[in-house]
Chain A
């Protein structure tokens, strides 16, 4: 298996695009890094993002996941700071795992995912939080929301493993649906039901942008 290693100092383009390669890769964040676009490959991927001590990673992205199959592992070390806000439009068959493992202390992790499935798509998203032993004063939040629609299938499986006695952690998954009153409101302005649904979906995902 090929391993690609790239870091925050060299391999990120000036447009703050993070290209996830197929296969196994490691991204080292050593200082401060901002990502506005994350491109998933159509082949299987397994990327590990290592947040080194006192590093800072902020991701706000709105992306399409098409026939994606892979894992994003984030390792948070002492005094690291993570904001991972991702809006995902899924197409085809997808299987995505996002894992955040906190091995240091005094870190902050906030992972928010918003999901909308295209017609006939089938998506399974696993989020896993691991707070390791002998760590203290970490703040950890995992929040996944998706729109439940007849046209697509989305399944979210949240897991949280806490092996530390001194942590503030929460995780939740919630299912939303497009409210009839929102649709009526937009329709009463002259917007067709299909367009209104599309606008609501887009805005649901766009809430992940900065």
Chain B
């Protein structure tokens, strides 16, 4: 379970999150929606303790442990996996090298044969050539390929909590369906919880979130079920504020 308690976060001394709270139980899928600048990306980056963000007050608990001030790799090793809106390129390092290193750092024994067998299976699942495993991390890949590449890491590292920041950006219709269905399948297979930032109704339809939250000015102002996402799609963020039908967040 992940719990954010009264989190206030700044970036370059500008306060972005303002005493924000959120609780995600095991196996739940939560969607964060909100206008640009509402602080959605800051939420996921703060959970992972991104060095550009300073946590001024509040706590983040994961399975009862305070992870507020842990290093990103320590948080990742607890099973939290982050996919950013625009995964960066890292020249010179192949996916295989990176994933093998990550597994070894987690304390797992990596048998070369099993590792490649698993990567091959995942590539098939993602409709990627097996050679993708030996490509440099995201180098020369299209937006869609990068997101699939991040999913390759997810299937190999087997986290139990996913943080997805606009994973739908840069995806065409088919790629979006494949990514969405992979996430759904992963969730059903592992029971992983998901916190996803998205405005794509088609992704929301595939993921079938248990909770939807609307953010504004650094905090959650409205929470509900999937109907809140439909209301936002219909009325927009400004109008949604004036339309009743969802519970307000406390």
Residues of A close to B105: CB separation below 8 A: 190-192, 195
Residues B71 and A187 in contact, CB atoms below 8 Å apart = yes
Measured CA separation A192–B70 after assembly (Å): 12
**Complex formed: what's the CA distance from A193 to B92 in Å?**
17
Known: A182-B90, A199-B93, A204-B92. A187 touches B72 (CB 8 A): yes
Check A199/B51 contact, CB under 8 A, given A185-B88, A185-B90, A204-B92: no
A184 cross-chain contacts in B, Cβ below 8 A: 50-51, 72
Contact A190 B90 (CB under 8 A): no
B134 within 8 A of A: no
Q: Residue B177 at the A interface, CB < 8 A?
A: no
A200/B98 in contact, CB under 8 A = no
How far, in whole Å, are A207 and B153 apart by their CA atoms in the complex?
23
Whole-angstrom distance from the CB of B43 to the nearest CB of chain A? 15
Q: Does A10 contact B (CB under 8 A)?
A: no
Q: A188-B48, A190-B77, A193-B71 are in contact. Are A203 and B92 (CB under 8 A)?
A: yes
Evaluate contact between A190 and B102: CB separation under 8 angstroms: yes
Which of A182, A190, A206, A207 contacts B106, CB < 8 Å? A190
Say yes or no for B97: interface residue by CB 8 A criterion: yes
For B97, the chain A residues whose CB sits under 8 A away are 199, 203
Q: Given the complex, which residues of B lie within 8 Å of A196, measured CB to CB?
A: 73
Shortest Cβ gap from A84 to chain B (Å): 19
Q: Does A186 contact B (CB under 8 A)?
A: yes
Asked if B76 is at the interface of the complex by the 8 Å CB criterion, the answer is yes
Q: A203 and B101: CB pair below 8 A?
A: no
Q: B148-166 vs A: 1/0 string, CB under 8 Å?
A: 0000010001000000000
Using an 8 Å CB-CB cutoff, how does the interface string of B93-105 with A read, 1 for contact, 0 for none?
A: 1000111011001
In the complex with contacts A184-B72, A190-B77, A195-B88 CB distance below 8 A: no
Q: Which residue of A lies closest to B163 (CB)?
A: A188
Greatest chain B CB density within 10 A among A185, A188, A206 is at A188
Please indicate which of the listed interface residues A187, A193, A195, A203 has the most CB atoms of chain B within 10 Å of its own CB.
A187
Residues of chain A lying within 8 A (CB to CB) of residue B153: 189
- How far in angstroms is the closest Cβ of chain A from B98? 6
Q: Could you say which residues of chain A place their CB within 8 Å of the CB of B106? A: 190
The answer, yes or no, to whether A15 is at the interface (CB within 8 Å) is no
A180-B51, A187-B71, A190-B105 known; A206+B90 contact, CB < 8 A: no
Most B CB within 10 A of own CB, among A181, A191, A196: A191
Q: Which residues of B contact A195 (CB under 8 A)?
A: 101, 105
- Give, as a whole number of angstroms, the nearest-CB distance from B214 to chain A: 27
A147 to B85 CA separation, bound complex (whole angstroms):
28
A200 contacts B157, C-beta separation under 8 Å: no
**Bound CA span A184–B106, Å:** 17
Q: For residue B101, which residues in chain A have a CB less than 8 angstroms away from its CB?
A: 191, 195, 199
A182-B90, A203-B93 known; A189-B71 Cβ under 8 A? no
CB B107 to nearest CB in A, in angstroms, measures 10
Query: Distance (Å) between the CB of B133 and the closest chain A CB?
Result: 15
Inside 8 A of B62's CB, which chain A residues have their CB?
Answer: none
User: With a CB–CB cut-off of 8 A, which chain A residues contact B98?
Assistant: 186, 189, 191, 199
A191 → chain B closest CB, angstroms: 5
CB distance from B137 to the nearest CB of A (A): 8
Q: A190 contacts which chain B residues (CB < 8 A)?
A: 73, 76-77, 102, 105-106, 157
Distance of A182 Cα from B91 Cα, bound (Å)? 10
List, sorted by A's number, 5 A–B pairs whose CB atoms are closer than 8 Å.
A186-B73, A186-B98, A188-B72, A191-B98, A200-B93
Which 8 A-B pairs give the minimum distances between C-beta atoms? A203-B92, A187-B72, A190-B76, A187-B73, A189-B102, A190-B102, A190-B77, A203-B93
Besides A182-B88, A186-B93, A188-B73, 15 new A-B residue pairs in contact (Cβ under 8 A), listed by A number: A184-B72, A185-B90, A187-B72, A189-B98, A190-B73, A190-B102, A191-B98, A191-B101, A191-B102, A191-B105, A192-B105, A193-B71, A195-B105, A200-B90, A203-B93
> Which residues of B line the A interface, CB within 8 A?
48, 50-51, 71-73, 76-77, 81-82, 87-88, 90-93, 97-99, 101-102, 105-106, 137, 153, 157
